[in-house]
Structure 1
Amino acid sequence: GDLQSGTSEFGGTQCFYTYDRIDYVDFIPAWTPTFMKFIFRSPPLSYVTNIFTLPFDTHVWYSSFVLCAIIFIVIYLIVSWEWK
């Protein structure tokens, strides 16, 4: 990367200790153990009746249903045409 090619002098991200990086990077031992975690916060149920429909507006849902109906009709016409 940039540290090995010499374009960067300081790396501030955590990287793994591998043998090819020993010549290029001065590793500092971690003071505390690091963990990767995901935090999911749910809205209170009093705000939202159905949290799965929240990201989309009603017009998007109507458009999705109309598109599904059009696709169903087109597939039905193609199948009925091919079976003749």
Structure 2
Amino acid sequence: MGLLSPNFFINTIRIGTVEGASCVNFGNNAPSGFESYKKLNQGFGSISGDNNSIEGLRSLLSDSAIMDMLINSKENEIPGWTQDLIKEKLKKEKS
């Protein structure tokens, strides 16, 4: 094999997680147009460890799906009737 050989040899590759707009590429690649949107609604959180006790817990989560629709609408125009509904809903929430 020559000094500038296009070949390479890897014994082991260990990949834990590939998610969202991530990718694993080998060779000649030109990935483009990757987008990712992730939403996590968690009103409480998480508890880890030993001997935990949770008593009298109260939690409230308010999730407005309108914001999700606006964030995900980059490629497609939102129809006029939907825009009117959103405006009406936002007015009601403000008052």
Which has the higher relative contact order, 1 or 2, with Cα contacts under 8 A spaced 6 or more apart?
2
From the CA coordinates, give the structure whose radius of gyration is larger: 1
TM-score (ref. length: structure 2): 0.21
TM-score (ref. length: structure 1): 0.23
